[in-house]
Amino acid sequence: MKIAVCLKQILDPELPSRVFEVDEGTKRPRYGEHPLVINPFDENALEMALQLKESDASRELTALSMGGEAVEEVLRKALALMLDKAVLIKSGEVDLDSCQAAQLLGECLKQTGPYDLILFGRQAGDWERGQVGAMVAEHLNMPNINNVYKVEPGESGEATLWRDLDGEIQKIKGRLPMVVTATNSPSNVLRSPKVKNIMQAYSKDIMEVGADEPVPGLKRNGQAKIVDLYKPERKTVCEFVKGDSAQELADNLIKKLCEMEPVKII
């Protein structure tokens, strides 16, 4: 059984709003020296894949990541977590929309597959689109399902999936191959790699695809064109509660809460 995990490298979502800047020329964020991380929902997908490998070592895990040279770091981390293969899809510096990204990724999945299970995060914390997973499913003519936190492949190509829709837990059956997008749960928080494996990951191979030639048919340009990007205004001024002791702080805060308009909740 072959499992693919698609990992997107994004600007750290924990980056405070006050240091987030928009480049006025390109209408894109200014990346500068800000940290880049694996999209948090993709980490959940990665953990789900690792658990599948734990329950059956014959399952082969491949990590794929698309972008410029910086995404190598993402793949090194995947290798440090003992994934079997890593594929770097070179899309260059071109700003791909979801359709283009899905085509390029879909073609690379064909080239390195076929896979029984393709895992994504449910959406990425940069453009917040949540589109590429479902589009890849359409490109590969596979069924897709979202908000999944656990997958259990069963006998003869069946799989059981657990979905979480804001507290509604659904248990579902489907047939492989399929595209699954992951949501977060306490059961799929990504583990940390072992130090020894981090070192070894640097000597492992990363397969590079899509280096020179654009994918045939990758012509759907500018369908969802971003013409502006701006930071919303904030108007709040914080009033800090003071006090000389913890007791005084607690009492002053409660006093403040009671005075708050328009509250007066009776």
**Binding residues among 79-138 for another protein as defined by CB under 8 A:** 97-99, 102, 122-123, 125-135, 137-138
Q: Residue 196 or residue 242: which is nearer to another protein going by CB?
A: 242
Please identify, among the stretches 59-67, 83-91, 165-173, 202-210, the one whose residues bind another protein according to the rule CB under 8 A.
165-173
| Measured distance CA(91)–CA(185) in Å, rounded | 31
Query: One-letter amino acid identity for 71?
Result: V
Which pairing describes strands 28-29 and 22-23: parallel, antiparallel, or unpaired?
A: antiparallel
Q: Report in angstroms how near the CB of residue 184 gets to another protein at its nearest.
A: 6
Q: Report in angstroms how near the CB of residue 152 gets to another protein at its nearest.
A: 12
| Measured distance CA(132)–CA(124) in Å, rounded | 10
Residues 1, 60 contacting (CB under 8 angstroms): yes
Three-state DSSP class for residue 249: helix
* Consecutive H or E run containing 160: strand 158-165
Which tokens in the block code for residue 217?
């048919």
Q: Residue 195 or residue 266: which is nearer to another protein going by CB?
A: 266
Rule CB under 8 A: choose which of 183, 193, 201, 210 binds another protein.
183
Please identify, among the stretches 15-23, 57-65, 71-79, 88-96, the one whose residues bind another protein according to the rule CB under 8 A.
15-23
| Measured distance CA(20)–CA(18) in Å, rounded | 6
Rule CB under 8 A: choose which of 25, 156, 173, 203 binds another protein.
173
Q: Is 253 in the site for another protein (CB under 8 A)?
A: yes
| Measured distance CA(41)–CA(189) in Å, rounded | 9
Q: Is 180 in the site for another protein (CB under 8 A)?
A: no
Q: Is 175 in the site for another protein (CB under 8 A)?
A: yes
Name the β-bridge partners of 144.
Answer: 179
Instruction: Enumerate residues 189-218 that contact another protein by CB under 8 A.
Output: 189
Residue count at the site for another protein (CB under 8 A)?
Answer: 93
Q: Is 60 in the site for another protein (CB under 8 A)?
A: no
Dihedral (Cα; 101, 114, 5, 85), 10-degree rounding: -110
Q: Is 177 in the site for another protein (CB under 8 A)?
A: no
Q: Is 244 in the site for another protein (CB under 8 A)?
A: no
